Structure 1
Amino acid sequence: MGATAGPVWGRREQQDFRSRVRGTLLGVAVGDALGAPVDGMGVAAIREAHGTDGLADMVPAYGRRGAVTHHTQLTLFSVDGLIRAQVRRDTGAWHPPTDLHRAYLRWATTQRDWGPDERRKEDGWLAREEWLYARRDPARTLLVGLGDDTMGTPDAPKNPGEAGPEPAARSAPFGLLVGWEPQLVAQLAVECAAQTHGHPVACLAAAAYAVTVHALARGESVDAAVQQTLALLATRPGHQPVSDALQQALGAVRQGMPTPERVSGLIGAGTAEGVVAAAVYCTLVGQDVRRSLCLSVNHDGPSAATGALTGGLLGALHGETALPPAWLAELEGRPTILELADDFAMEMTQGAALHSPAASSPAWLARYPRGA
């Protein structure tokens, strides 16, 4: 797997990119935290608990407001893995799926251990963040897929019958590789999805989501981004369920006022293609970011995943300043998310000044070691 030459970064371009990176990662976390308290409840139960309009604000989950789930945790480890892939490239090694797999194994360790092991310097700084060691109802499929050191691949995937939305929900960072061609972004998403969810729908839905984020991060409109995604999907065997779901999302935009029932209809059985389609729909029809996010969690499906996916799209589209400040203020792990986002933006725009085969910043290599 190779990447094309990146863009030329002027100061304005760097600032815009950093805002979109921050927006994407914060958006994933905000949508995830908004949906966490009502995940899997269904519209009737949500309305009974929160009124006829459903959930309209952050409420507690896991003992606090703004708590995130495994979707955000894994998204952050996706970013960590991408930075580590860039750093390891200095050694002549270049296989991002392997670096992402190592990052996901570090996440799996957080789900088993009580806290970080300070002796493991090769883990880097993110794996030493104590708040990430909270277990937030990860799907068993994730724990099984990452339960040993064997990496699933498209030819030999882990859990080949699993078609859930979890791979898509950790794939927003792949779309932030704006210097890559879309087909390479799609391939990386497919290869990383296969590490836990081997069903073609899960893999191609993750690719579709990453490519849509990619177009948004490069300044496209949502409509244009989805059309580019559909064109790319058409070249992939087995794409029809994902393409059909996205087409249904576009069609639903023209069917009148958005409702929870319409979102539930798009989500269907809660498999990856429906959840991604629902996130696209919520992004398109919401009159503002807050309403889009609320629409994305008030339905019969997986609210945390749909919220995370919608938040990632909105953040890539608008940048960080469009996200509701009151929700950001109580978001769990916000300092870590911002620090990681800024590291990613710096690596992607100025990485050559941080490390090279000849000389590297010791502080940067301590944060993102080449070894593991």
Structure 2
Amino acid sequence: MTATASAATGVWGRAEQQDFRSRVRGCLLGGAIGDALGAAVEFSSLADIRAEHGPEGVTDFVPAYGRRGRVTDDTQMTLFTVDGLIRAQVRRDTGAWHPPTDIHAAHRRWYATQRDWGPDERRQDAGWLAREEWLYAQRAPGRACLTGLADETMGTLESPKNPDSKGCGAVMRSAPFGLLVGWEPQLVFQLAIECAAQTHGHPTGYLSAGAFALIVHGLARGEALDGAVQRALAHLATRPGHEETTDALRHALGAVRQGLPTPERVASLGEGWTGEEALAIGLYCALVAEDVRHGLLLAVNHGGDSDSTGAVCGNILGALHGETALPPAWLAELEGRGTILELADDFAMEMTQGPALHGPAASAPAWLARYPRA
């Protein structure tokens, strides 16, 4: 039985649960590794990267924000997206079912980590993730993310925050929507773009996030990468303002046929500062990757937003191959690995065994303490 069939029937066998958990872990850990690899060279040109790190560029973690293996706002926001999705599932028991509101609340909790010195232990509704002290660190957060979440007003597709912004701050946090394997693709796409519009209101800013979520969704269901991309293109074609994102994906597919992958070929897809460019670069590097290590190093060795393109590529490769394909030496040094694993396993458990954890009649108190309904 595939992950799709298991989610549709509500019956998950042990093998299906293990496969799904591996893909969830792979997606979140792979994204974090790519993020950490690119963190130190995010604002460097390719020439500067080669001058400092040798002709091959970055080949391993290099110190960023005080030590090797540290992640940026890309991973921080991705984790809070996962937290919000779990909270949405838990709150469904109350009859309150509006996932964009739960994602917005989760991202507001992330915003607090960029403003406060540390967790507010008095907030019982914050949940466990917001009490992780290591997350209270500014790692070059994007302006649109900060301004979009600075007040309690939630941006919507009809009235988006930062309507002119098409930066990559929405796409880099949107892989978790694709892990909703029990949802139909059009619903995954819709949720991802609605949540992206909370900070990035330009069609390219939110449609690139939706396309990325659909690509991950196909992989989490066990589909091939090419097929997942084609489904994303089909959904994009139905939306106004899709042209830039569609063109970027098509350029990524075309670059695969143009010869051996090089940093210069990556540069032909852009620099990654905007949503469609970050998605195109991450996708291209995943498509041509000989293995996870090769793909991630290709994704960060360019003059542009290296941490975001590395994160996107890592999310894709991790969802495609599962956690065991990730380089163990990088996993061992990755900041927050324990937190990421804990959250990934909680998400997998919620998606596969949620009714056993909570329901309208009875719920596990420990689960509600971790993911409060408030």
| TM-score normalized by the length of structure 2 | 0.97
Distance 1:222 1:5, change over 3 A: closer
- For 1:272 and 1:106, locate their aligned partners in 2 and report how far apart those are by CA, in whole Å: 23
The alpha-carbon deviation at position 27 of structure 1 amounts to 0.8
- Preserved CA contact (<8 Å) 2:149 2:198: yes
- For 1:155 and 1:65, locate their aligned partners in 2 and report how far apart those are by CA, in whole Å: 42
The alpha-carbon deviation at position 204 of structure 1 amounts to 0.3
- Preserved CA contact (<8 Å) 2:196 2:209: yes
Report SS of the residue matched to 1:166. coil
Corresponding pairs, count: 368
Counterpart in 2 of 1:76? 79
The alpha-carbon deviation at position 80 of structure 1 amounts to 0.3
Matched, 1:130 2:133: yes
Which of 336, 350, 354 is the matching residue for 1:351? 354
The alpha-carbon deviation at position 6 of structure 1 amounts to 5.9
Structure 2 counterparts to residues 189-338 of structure 1, below 5 A: 189-268=192-271, 270-338=273-341
Deviates more, 1:346-355 or 1:7-16: 7-16
Give ranges in structure 1 of 5+ residues lacking alignment.
none
Report SS of the residue matched to 1:273. helix
The alpha-carbon deviation at position 271 of structure 1 amounts to 1.2
Residues 288-330 of structure 1: CA deviation (Å, up to 9, x unaligned): 1101000000011100000000000000000001011000000
Distance 1:6 1:121, change over 3 A: farther
Residues 25-47 of structure 1: CA deviation (Å, up to 9, x unaligned): 00110000000000020100100
- For 1:68 and 1:175, locate their aligned partners in 2 and report how far apart those are by CA, in whole Å: 21
- Preserved CA contact (<8 Å) 2:253 2:284: yes
- For 1:73 and 1:41, locate their aligned partners in 2 and report how far apart those are by CA, in whole Å: 22
- Preserved CA contact (<8 Å) 1:6 1:178: no
Residues 245-286 of structure 1: CA deviation (Å, up to 9, x unaligned): 111111100101111111111025731111101111000111
Matched, 1:27 2:21: no
Report SS of the residue matched to 2:268. helix
| TM-score normalized by the length of structure 1 | 0.97
Residues 21-72 of structure 1: CA deviation (Å, up to 9, x unaligned): 0000001100000000000201001000100111111111001110000000
- For 1:224 and 1:333, locate their aligned partners in 2 and report how far apart those are by CA, in whole Å: 33
CA RMSD of superposed structures (Å): 1.0
Counterpart in 2 of 1:44? 47
Structure 2 counterparts to residues 110-129 of structure 1, below 5 A: 110-129=113-132
Matched, 1:154 2:136: no
- Preserved CA contact (<8 Å) 1:88 1:370: yes
Matched, 1:360 2:358: no
Counterpart in 1 of 2:4? none
Matched, 1:58 2:66: no
- The one-letter amino acid of 1:349's match is T
The alpha-carbon deviation at position 184 of structure 1 amounts to 0.6
Report SS of the residue matched to 1:99. helix
- For 1:90 and 1:144, locate their aligned partners in 2 and report how far apart those are by CA, in whole Å: 32
- For 2:281 and 2:311, locate their aligned partners in 1 and report how far apart those are by CA, in whole Å: 11
Residues 180-218 of structure 1: CA deviation (Å, up to 9, x unaligned): 011111111101111111010010000000000000111
Residues 207-239 of structure 1: CA deviation (Å, up to 9, x unaligned): 000000000111111111111111111111211
- For 1:358 and 1:20, locate their aligned partners in 2 and report how far apart those are by CA, in whole Å: 31
- Preserved CA contact (<8 Å) 1:165 1:275: yes
- Preserved CA contact (<8 Å) 2:177 2:192: yes
- For 2:99 and 2:272, locate their aligned partners in 1 and report how far apart those are by CA, in whole Å: 32
- For 1:140 and 1:163, locate their aligned partners in 2 and report how far apart those are by CA, in whole Å: 12
- Preserved CA contact (<8 Å) 1:24 1:313: yes
- Preserved CA contact (<8 Å) 1:209 1:276: yes
Give ranges in structure 2 of 5+ residues lacking alignment.
1-6
- For 2:9 and 2:70, locate their aligned partners in 1 and report how far apart those are by CA, in whole Å: 35
- For 2:270 and 2:325, locate their aligned partners in 1 and report how far apart those are by CA, in whole Å: 26
- For 1:14 and 1:306, locate their aligned partners in 2 and report how far apart those are by CA, in whole Å: 29
